[in-house]
Every structure is written in C-alpha cells, then in structure tokens.
Amino acid sequence: MDFSNEPPKLLELLYGVIAFLAVVGVLLFVLDKLPMRKERWIALTFLFPAGALLTIGLVIPAIRTFILSFTKPDIAHPGTNKFAGFENYIWMFTEPESRHTLLNTLLWVLLVPTVSTAVGLIYSVLVDRSRGEAFAKSLIFMPMAISFVGAGIIWKFIYEYRPEDEKQLGLLNQLVVWLGGTPQQWLLKGPWNTLFLIVVLIWIQAGFAMVVLSAAIKAIPAEIVEAARLDGVTPWQMFWRVTVPSIRPALIVVLVTITIATLKVFDIVRAMTGGNFGTSVLAYDMYNWAFPFDNTGRGSTLAVFLFLLVTPIVIYQIRNLRQQREIR
Amino acid sequence: MTVVPPAVVTGETEVAPGGVAKRVGKRLTSRTATVVSILIALLWTVPTFGLFISSFRPENDIKGDGWWNFFTNPSFTLENYQEVLFGTSNVNGRLASYFINSIVITIPSVLFPVFFCSLAAYALAWLNFKGRDWIYIGIFALQIVPLQMALVPLLSFFSRGVSLGGVTILPAWDLQGPDKFIQVWFAHTCFALPLGIFLLHNFMADLPRDLIEAAKVDGASHPKIFRSVVLPLIVPALASFAIFQFLWVWNDLLVALIFAGGNQRTAPLTVRLAEMAGTRGNEWQRLTSGAFISIVIPLIVFLSLQRYFVRGLLAGSVKG
Amino acid sequence: MASARRRSFVALVAAAGLTLGGGLAACSSGEKSSDNLDKPECAAFKDYTGIAGKTVSVYTSIRDAEADLLQQSWKQWADCTGVKIDYEGNGDFEAQLQVRVQGGNAPDIAFIPQPGLLEKLAKAGNLKPAGDKTQTMAKQNYSADWLKYATVDGKLYGAPLGSNVKSFVWYSPKMFKDKGWTIPTSWDELISLSDKIAATGIKPWCAGIESGSATGWPATDWIEDVLLRDQGPDVYDQWVSHSIPFNDPKIASAVDKVGSILKNDKYVNGGLGGVKSIATTSFQAGGTPITQGKCALHRQASFYANQWPQGTKVGEDGDVFAFYFPAVDPSKKPVLGAGEFTAVFDDRPEVQAFQTYLASADHANSRAKLGNWVSANKGLDIANVANPIDKKSVEILKDSSTVFRFDGSDLMPAAVGAGSFWKGMTDWINGKSTKDTLDYIENSWPK
C-alpha cells in the first residue's frame, strides 16, 4: 500500500480547520473589541461572510441563468448562444414532453412533503420516550445516510421484474407472486411508475422529518403536557390539540425544506428510469438540456420555472415573518 | 390511524408527581400504536436489510435470485467486501485513500457553513436594519437555485478569476493537488448557506425576546449576546444542521466531481462508488458492499450527535 | 470605526489566504524532472525528449478495471519520458466535460467517444488541432475512414484510440450444435432460423436496453445496424447528417424491419418476458438467458464479452460466441462500430507528445497485450489480441471488403443522439408507433 499521498491531504485538512478557527476567532475578537454604535454596521459584519459567498456561489449564477433562459444555441457558431426571446418558455408549455414533466413535478411536490412529514411525525410521536428510542429512530434515519447511488440500487432491487416462470429478484414482485398474482413491470406503466419513484424519496426524507419533529416534540414544555393530562384528554386529543399546535413552526420548516428538496429531485429519477416511460421531472430535464443535450437556454428556462414554482412558498414565508414580527 | 383508547396508565406516569424536571412522558401506548410503529420501522428497514444480506451473497446468487433465498439456501461470502476494500485494481489501498478524501472534504465543509449561517441568522433575527426582511426572504428563495446551474459560473470563478472589461479584479485560483479541496469547501459552503440560514433563523427567532433584552440591559453588545447567550442555546439546532450538512456533503457526488476532480488524490468515496460498477456497469454487485461501507461514518455521526437534538431545543431554559 | 472593522476583516481573509498559500507552496515542490530515455527499454521512445517532469491530465469515460489496464498500457512511456499522467474516468463524461469546458477547467486531453461532440468542441474553438507529429502518426496507422470522424473543417483534431464492432449476434455454439442449427449468412437465413427456433418453443431473441440515464442506446444500435443493411451506407450517411429527415420512409422501413424482430411476440423476449420487458431489462442482463438455454440470439457489440456471468467461456468452442450480423445481400459486408478519439484542449509539448504516442502502434500493442481491447490501428499485431471475439473484431476492422460506419447516434447532435433517439426508441419498444416515434425524433433535431 502506498500512503505517500495521504499526509498532504491531512495537512490540508489541518490548514482548513486552522483557517476556520482563525476566521471564527478573529471575527469574534474583532466584533468584541471594536464597539460599534450603529446596528447597521454590526449587521453588515455579521452578514458579510455569508453575503459574499452567496453572491459568488448563487446570486450571480441565478442571474446568469435568468439571462440564458432567453437564448438558444447558435447553430452557425457552435459554442455560442443567440437571443431567442420567449421561445424557450413557449417550448416549455407547448411541447407535450415538457408539459408531462411539469405535471410529474407537481405530483412529486404534492406527495413527498406531505407523506414524509406525516410518517416522520407519527413515528416520532409513537416512539417518543419509548424504550430503545434511539435505536428505533436510527432505523428510520438510516435511509438518509445512504447516498443516492445506494438508494438507487436498493429500490431497483425491489422493483426488479422477472417473467412469471422465473425466480423473482425483486421483493415487490415476489410478494405479488406469493399472493398468487402475476409479476408486474412496476417502472413501465404511467402514472403508477412516478408513484413508485416518489416512494423512494419519501423513504429518504421521512428520516429528516422525524429528526426535526422529534426534537420539537421533546421541546414541548412539560407543564403543557401535564396540564392537558390532568384535564383527562385522550392521546388522540393530545396529539391534535397539544402536540401538533406546539410544534407548528417545526412542521412548517420540515414541509418547506422537503418541498424545496423535492422540486430539485434529480438523482432518483436518473438512477431508476433515466426519465423514461414518462417519469421525468423538471430538475432532471433541466440538467439534461443544460449539459448533455447542450442547450443551456432550455435548461435555464426550466431552472427559472423551478424558481417560479417556489413563489407561493416565498409569499407564505413573507406573511409568516410579518406575523412573527408583530407578535414580538 | 384508529382512535386509541384513553392512555393506559403505565409505570412511567406515576414516577414523579410534580417533578417537572423529569418530565412525564406519555405516548399513545396501545397495541395499535405499537403495531403502527413496528410496521413503519419494518417498511423503512426491509429495503436496506435486503441490500445488507445481498452484500454477503456471491455475485451469481445476487444476480440469480432474491435475497430472501439466503435464508433457505445460505451461501455466505466476504468477496464483495474484499473486492471493494482492496480493489481489483493494481493500486492497493484505494478505498482508504477515498475515505480520507471524504473526511478531508467533509469536516471544513460542515464547520464553515455552521458558523457563517449562525452569524447571518443572528443578524437577520435580532438586529434592526433596513431591508432586513427582504434580505432574509431573498436568502430563503435562493434555496431553489439548482446547484447544477451554479456549477459553470462557480467553476469559472475558480479557473478564470473575475475580470470586468479586461481588468482583473480577482485572479484565477489555479489550485493544484490537495489544494483543490479548498474549491470543494468553498462550493459546499456557498450551497449550504440558504438552507442553513433558514433553519437557524427559525430557531433563533424563537428565542424569548426577554432573554436578549435582559442581556442588553446588562450592557452586553450584540457580539457578546451572540457568543455567550444565543450560541449556547441553539446548540441542538447547530447540531441538527451540522448533521444534515454532513450527510449532504458525505453523500454528494456532483459538487465533488466538478470541483475536486475524479481521481484518488482528491475525490470522495461517492465518486469511487459510482465508478466501482465498471465502465459498463456490469460489476454492480460490488455496490452492495460499497453502499454499506459508505454508510458507516454517517451512522456513527448520527448516533453520537443524537443526544444533542434529542435533548430538545430549549430544554430547561426560560421559555415562555 | 466601521472601516476599521472592515479592514480587520480583510486582514483576516488575507491571513487565512496566506495560511492556505503556505500549504500550496509546501506541496508543489519535490517533482523529479529527469527522463529515462537513455535506458535500453526506452529505445522506442527516444524522440519524446524535453518533456520530463511535466504532467498531462486525461479525462475519459473509461473507469475501474478497464481504466487500470489503460493506465498500465502507457506506464512504460510515462516512466521513460518522465511525464506524469493524471488520469480521471467518469461515468457522466459527456455532461461533465461540457461543464468543465464551459467553466474554463478543461482537461489537457480527453478520449471522446462521440465524433459529434468532438466536432462541436472543435468548431467552438475549445479543441486544439492535432500537432504535426500526431497527424503523421495517425495517418500512418489509421485508415481515412476512421480519421474522417475526427476531421473538422479539413483539420485533424484527434486520433482514434480503442474501438469496438457492434455488428455481432451472440449465440451459444453448444446449443446450436445440439439442435443442429447453422450460422446464418444472410438476412433471410437469419429470419428462417428465428422461425425455426420459435417453432421449438424457445423465443429466439433476447434483448435489454435499460442503461440508467442512457437507456435506449442498444435499440438505437439495432436501428443503425439494420438501416445499414436495409438501405445501404449512402442512405445511412444522409440520415446521420440529416440531409434526409429522421422520419423519411426509408428510415421507417428499417425501423419496421427491426420491429419485425424486437416487437414480435413470437421472437422476444427469450427468458425475460414479453416485448415490453426489453425496455426494463438492463443491457448487461439482456443476453444472459442464452447461458440458460432460454434464448438463442442476442445482437450486441464485441464488448458484451465482459458481461456474461462469471465462469462463462467465450469462444467458438465455448459457452457463448458471436457471429457477424448478416447483411441482406450476403455479398456486402457493412459493419457498425464505435470507438473513442483522443482530443487535446491544450497544445503544450507534453500533451502533444502524449497524443502522438496514443496514436502509435506501440501503444495499440501495449494495450492489446493486456487483454480486452480492439483497435483499428493498422500497426496492431493480431498475435497480441488474445480474446477470440476481440480477434474477430480486429480481423473485421482490418478486412478491406468491410464497409465501416460509425455509430450514428454518436455522430448526431447530442440532443438527438444522446437524447430523443434513445428516449424515442425506448417509447417505441414500449408500444409507440414507428411513425409517432420518428416524428418525435425529427421534431427534436436542433434547428
């Protein structure tokens, strides 16, 4: 074995950690020692590192994407783009293929956040304070720790199809056979195939919901729980009248985060069906157009549309924020 | 779910009358509840369990019949693990190398965002300045920028630098060898910020106003409040964000491929896993064991950080 | 006050930068910069002087075991010249290469399997034309037929490297012998053999086109191979260059001819299910029923030799082997194939030297000796090719009566060749009509 490559890497890690500590130390020291009167300047310093990185890493790319969405590849001059007006937007809404993609994305966004949050919530209530809670929670958490590559293999295994007279490889078809049915090609028939893909993301995201919601449940003040109990509420009432209202902010965080993650889903579709059989979603088409198909304009248009899709959530956040401020 | 009968009084409820510190927990203790939780646990575990069993089966068995046949016709092998760990390639110790890369990539990619996000979240939650809400909403909205669209401009930022009208404002970074890790840290930090700021802002804004006001009355400055009042209180939130960021970075493939490159000097485990199946993907049985090797560290991290977020966000503090 | 704050932040960033810069300086030293060209084993490389201590970065789609063989094949050259080859293989090569080129971080040299992509990169000015020495070497070792795929606007941009032959039908020699079947030499014989096999209760053909994000490509190979036989190379060329539309009746005729096999319930899908199971069967598993006697014929490229289950012997007297996919007119010998081309993004001397070396017979033989390799390099000594199917492929490629055509989907614009064509054929297998499929692909051609 040759480990001569390794020390420089670890040295690099050391430098990274030192740089981190230096940034933390110096920033906090400076903030501490230099008294500033105007909150605006303090805020600027607090926001500066994040702001600078966001500008470079996300704001500029977002603007660039927006501009590119009005261009198309110039056939006469490969490698360059020319102005195309709203052509890409028209394409997006008229082409049957991309319309189908938009509908699929809608299905994903409706199902994944709600189901995975529900599962995460129910499970964290059920195992809360039970014996072996930590173990029970790691079971649901496990899918989150598996990379998309791993999740892809796992679920391809489950949906695998073999003809009737063969030994089944996939668990789902084996169950069907045991129950006396004929094996199905799960990923072939729409719209069911999209549902089978959605299951995979729910499987992954429920762990996230469970972790956050479980923490929130544990933060419900004991007095409230105790008071409710003295009133003689049933566990069912407890769940709806005490637990859910108390963890509402956490629920919203979970729903919003999973919704955004779902809009950006890409790897699962890519690994399981490659977007075939009418299972493609926005983010996957976006990647395909922008890179392998070499039409950045169309890719960017789909990205801009993704952005438009979150507008309702953004508006909701604004309302939420206003309410929050009023309370304080 | 069906309506469950009134809580069966368990031993737990009688433990501490009035002892608020030992909070008396009650769950939906009934047979239905147990059945439902076991059912969910099973549904969520069986797929992974199948993969786990498969990882110990010989290649022809994996490709020949379902993993449940293992129980009726057990044939056990460690060959998949051996192949993955020690490789079919001439260069031994490959996986170890990728493992180190993953660690080198992950640690700073978690530390930087956690710190920068908490700074920004504090400013957005507790400082008064014009346009604060709009900045917050803007950062929130940035979550949706697909990172695929950010790859080219960010890569160009590293490899060409920034110039305006022929004037170089920032030179190209031109990083080589292990220094390429800096690019990956930078990229991961950028991409983590919107979600991190959103999550931490939510927790920070929930802190009781009195707490901050009291500290101000005592003459504490904002930096001091941030450091000695807020940070200790949001440790659970920091831990939660840290673990999600950790998982995201650990399992990331795309960012690493673009900014670190795909060879063993800088590429993480996921890159190796993805290529393990061979050029034409025929060796995919190796992925069964590969997936398990890559899951070990995240699970350890989860289990060891678990107590932080199980403790609850404001357990024992002055909420309300 | 505020500016003091900001200044200290700048100082801090600078400090952090210096720390990291120190790391950079510490790591970049210690390269040895001498070659070994005077050693006896390096006699063949004595012309590659003055490039010692340099590094060339290589980016390809070849990974894992095959990548190891490739790296081993140029090890001696690298040791002799003192050039360090920094290899990187990636499964998402086509997309990632675009990202890197657009992001200004192109590799020094890439092995591009799509002449269409090579042409686009050359026209966009991203590629550098091959140097004089590479040109001489390439022209000496490869036929004009091959070089034309890497020639853009009259300039040669790269040289072929590895190749494969796609016009093969895999079968089990033992099964054929036991049942008394003979290898067909014309399309009609192929069909009558299929009928004969179908009459025995075995579905003669098996296929699988699932391949992750590239699902559909084996079906496009089918179309190309049959088009070449049904309509001839001229129509094939017109179709590839889009001088006849994708939904031309001639193309439809070829697609229907493929349909008479792949969409024929009596013929497919041996051991794997019905017609539609082709769409969900992975291309790796597409031929395996042959080893179980449940299928007799599987049309797939030479590289399928590596996909058989462990312990399957490939050879004329083994468990599986392949025969030439017969032409409609047995006197003609059209062959469909593919391969990758070396293309450089930088013309530093060491990069050019490496490209020259890769075009040489030295490299072709060095790689062939390691196994699993086919090349159209004229200097390749067939004695170095061990695998029987590779041997057969090399013979076909070297045969002057062969009419060779490159895989059409690799020549078309990526939106079609790696997009709508794959997707269209997948839908076609899944029940879409030939007309609708071809209309859809024609509409997607970039305008």
**A51: pLDDT strictly greater than 90:** yes
Residue A253 has pLDDT above 70, yes or no: yes
* pLDDT given for residue C181 in this prediction: 94
Tell me how many domains chain C contains. Answer: 2
H or E stretch covering A221:
none
Q: For chain B, give the mean pLDDT.
A: 79
Report whether pLDDT(B140) > 50: yes
**Residues 6 or more apart from C234 whose CB is under 8 A from it?**
none
- Quote the minimal CA–CA distance from B52 to chain C in Å: 22
A8 touches chain B (CB under 8 A): yes
| Inter-chain CB proximity B36 and A126 less than 8 Å | yes
Q: Which of A2, A3, A10, A13 to mutate to test the interface with B (most CBs of B within 10 A)?
A: A13
Between residues C235 and A11, which one has the greater pLDDT? C235
Q: Is C67 on the interface with B (CB under 8 A)?
A: yes
Residue ranges covered by each domain of chain B = 31-77, 94-310
The interaxial angle of helices B235-251 and B94-126, nearest 10 deg, is 140
Q: What phi and psi values does residue C211 have, to the nearest 5 degrees?
A: -155, 50
The answer to whether the CB of C208 falls within 8 A of the CB of C197 is: no
The CA distance from B209 to the nearest CA of chain A, in Å, is: 7
Q: How confident is the model at residue A327 (pLDDT cuts 50, 70, 90)?
A: low
CA atoms within 13 A on the CB side of C204: 23
The 10 Å Cβ neighbour count of residue B74 is 11
> C75 and C190, same structural domain?
no
Identify the residue among C280, C288, C409, C416 best suited for mutation to test binding to A, counting A beta carbons within 10 A and taking the highest: C280
Q: How many CB atoms lie within 10 A of CB C383?
A: 10
Using the Cβ of A292 and the Cβ atoms of chain C, whether some distance falls under 8 Å is answered with yes
Distance from CA of B71 to the nearest CA of A (A): 14
Considering only CB atoms, which chain A residues are within 8 Å of B274?
Answer: 149
Residue-level pLDDT at C354: 96
Comparing B278 with B42, the larger pLDDT belongs to B42
pLDDT tens column, B60-103: 888 778 888 888 888 888 888 887 777 655 444 477 788 889 99
Domain assignment of residue A4, yes or no:
no
In a domain, C29, yes or no: no
- Kindly report the number of other CB atoms within 10 A of residue C36's CB atom: 14
Residue B218: HSE in the Cβ half-sphere, 13 Å Cα cutoff: 12
Buried b / exposed e along B8-38 (16+ C-beta atoms within 10 A):
eeeeeeeeeeeeeeebbbbbbbbeebeebbe
Decide if C365 is inside a domain: yes
C34 is a domain residue? no
From the candidates A66, A144, A237, which should be mutated to test the interface with B, based on the most B CB atoms within 10 A?
A: A144
Q: Are C431 and C382 in the same domain?
A: no
The verdict on C354 and C417 lying in the same domain is no
Contacts of C417 in chain A (CB under 8 A): none
**CB-based contact (8 Å) between A32 and chain B?**
yes
Find the CATH number of the domain harbouring C140.
Answer: 3.40.190.10
Partners of C334 in the beta sheet?
Answer: C403
Its sign, for the CA torsion C277, C280, C284, C285, is negative
Which tokens sit at A109? 């966004």
Indicate whether C175 and C321 sit together in one domain.
yes
Interface membership of A61 toward B (CB under 8 Å): yes
Query: B63 with B285: CB under 8 angstroms?
Result: yes
For residue B258, give the nearest of C23, C91, C99 by CB distance. C99
C-beta atoms surrounding C233 within 10 Å:
15
CA atoms within 13 A on the CB side of B316: 8
Contact B154 C64 (CB under 8 A): no
pLDDT digits (tens, 9 = 90+) for A286-317: 999 988 888 889 999 999 999 888 888 888 88
d(CA C306, CA B280) in angstroms, rounded, equals 9
The answer to whether the Cβ–Cβ distance between A27 and C124 falls below 8 Å is no
> What is the least distance, in Å, from the CA of A162 to any CA of chain C?
6
| pLDDT tens digit sequence for C123-158 | 999 999 999 999 999 999 999 889 999 999 999 999
Residues C285 and C362 in one domain: no
Chains contacting C (3 or more CB pairs within 8 Å): A, B
Q: Among C86, C90, C103, whose Cβ lies nearest the Cβ of B152?
A: C103
Q: How many domains does chain A have?
A: 1
The DSSP annotation for A15-47 comes to HHHHHHHHHHHHHHHHHHHS----HHHHHHHHH
- What's the CA gap between B151 and A299, in Å, rounded? 13
C88/B contact by beta carbon, under 8 A: yes
Which domain covers residue A136, as residue numbers?
69-327
Residue A262's pLDDT band, with cuts at 50, 70 and 90, is very high
Of A15, A48, A274, the CB nearest to C9: A48
Residue A132 lies in a domain: yes
Query: A294: distance to nearest CA of chain B, Å?
Result: 13
Summarize pLDDT for B2-41 with one digit per residue, the tens: 333 333 333 333 333 333 333 334 444 567 888 888 999 9
Q: Taking residues C276-282, what's their average pLDDT?
A: 90
Query: A-B interface: how many C-beta pairs under 8 angstroms?
Result: 389
To probe the interface with C, which of B91, B95, B263 has the most C CB atoms within 10 Å? B263
A100/B91 Cα distance (integer angstroms): 47
Pairing state between β C151-152 and C158-165 = unpaired
**Angle, CA of A290, A291 and A293, to the nearest 5°:** 85
- Residues in chain C within 8 Å Cβ distance of A37: 1
Angle at which helices C232-240 and C249-262 pack, to 10 degrees? 110
When pLDDT is averaged across residues C267-294 and rounded to a whole number, the result is 90
CA separation for the pair C252, C436 (Å, rounded): 10
Least CB-CB distance to C1: which of A27, A36, A48? A36
Supply the ipTM of this predicted assembly: 0.89
A220 domain residue, yes or no: yes
Strand partners, C298: C170
pLDDT over 80 (residue B301): yes
Helix (H, G, I), strand (E, B) or coil at B60: helix
Express each pLDDT in C171-211 by its tens digit.
Answer: 999 999 999 999 999 999 999 999 999 999 999 999 999 88
Say yes or no: C324 contacts chain B, CB-CB below 8 A: no
Closest CA to C94 of C336, C340, C303: C340
Omega into A88 within 30° of 0, i.e. cis?
no
With contacts defined as CB-CB under 8 Å, which chain A residues touch B316? none
Contact flag B282-C307 (C-beta cutoff 8 Å): yes
Q: How far apart are CA C61 and CA C45, in angstroms?
A: 27
Place of tokens 């190309």: C224
Q: Write out the E strands in chain A.
A: 71-73, 81-83
How would CATH label the architecture of B94-310?
A: Orthogonal Bundle (1.10)
d(CA C303, CA C375): 12
C66 and C51, same structural domain? yes
Q: Does A281 touch chain B (CB under 8 A)?
A: no
Q: Report if residue C19 sits inside a domain.
A: no
Contacts of C120 in chain A (CB under 8 A): 78-79, 294
Contact A140 B270 (CB under 8 A): no
CB contact under 8 A, B66 and A42: no
C92 Cβ under 8 Å from any chain B Cβ: yes
Domain that holds residue C306: 168-336+406-444
Q: Is residue A50 one of the residues assigned to a domain?
A: no
- Helices B235-251/B180-205 angle, 10° precision: 150
Strand (E) or helix (H) holding B176: none
- Residue B164 DSSP SS3: strand
> Higher pLDDT residue, B297 or B29?
B297
Strands (E) located in chain B: 162-164, 167-170
pLDDT value of position B294: 83
Chain C residues 214-253 with CB within 8 Å of chain A: 214-216
What six digits make up the tokens of B127? Answer: 């400082």
Burial per residue of C58-84, b for 16 or more beta-carbon CB atoms within 10 angstroms, e otherwise: bbbbbbbbbbbbbbebbebbbebbbbe
Could you give the 3-state DSSP secondary structure of residue C8?
A: helix
Chain centroid to Cα A186, Å, comes to: 24
Residue C71 belongs to some domain of the structure = yes
Q: pLDDT tens for residues B173-220?
A: 777 777 889 999 999 999 999 999 998 988 888 788 888 889 888 888
Examine the domain organization and report whether C89 and C210 are in the same domain.
no
What's the Cα-to-Cα distance from B10 to each of A83, A292, B15, B28, B47, rounded to whole Å?
71, 61, 10, 11, 34
What's the gap between Cα A1 and its chain centre? 39
State the pairing for strand pair B162-164/B167-170: antiparallel
Q: Is residue A9 part of a domain?
A: no
Residue C109 has a pLDDT of 96
Phi-psi region of B312 (alpha: psi -120 to 50; beta: other; left: phi over 0): left
C-alpha closest to that of B155 among A295, A264, C107: C107
* A19 found inside a domain: no
Q: How confident is the model at residue B310 (pLDDT cuts 50, 70, 90)?
A: low
C-alpha A273/C-alpha A286 separation (Å) is 16
B79 to chain C nearest CA, in Å? 14
Please, which residues have CB within 8 angstroms of residue B177's CB and are 6 or more apart in sequence?
A8, B265, B266, C27, C28
Q: Which of A15, A26, A75 sits opposite C20 (nearest CB)?
A: A15
Cβ distance of A211 and B265 shorter than 8 Å: no
Q: Is B158 on the interface with C (CB under 8 A)?
A: yes
* Contacting B residues, span 186-245, partner chain C, CB-CB under 8 Å: none
For residue B48, give the amino acid letter. T
pLDDT at B12: 37
What chain B residue is nearest to A283 in terms of C-alpha separation? Answer: B146
Please answer whether residues C221 and C164 qualify as being in contact, where contact means their C-beta atoms are separated by less than 8 angstroms.
no
CA distance B45 to chain A (A): 6
With a CB-CB cutoff of 8 Å, which residues 95-114 of chain C face chain A? 95-96, 98-99
The average pLDDT across C417-425 equals 93
Residue C201 half-sphere exposure toward CB, CA atoms < 13 A? 1
Contact B26, A238 (CB under 8 A): yes
The CATH number of residue A100's host domain is 1.10.3720.10
For residue C401, being part of any structural domain is answered with: no
Cα–chain center distance at C355:
18
Q: Chain A, 184-213: which have a CB under 8 Å from a chain C CB? A: 185, 187-188
What is the pLDDT at residue C89? 87
Q: Distance of alpha carbon C191 from its chain centroid, rounded? A: 29
**Alpha carbon separation from B150 to A258, B147, C105 (Å, rounded):** 21, 5, 15
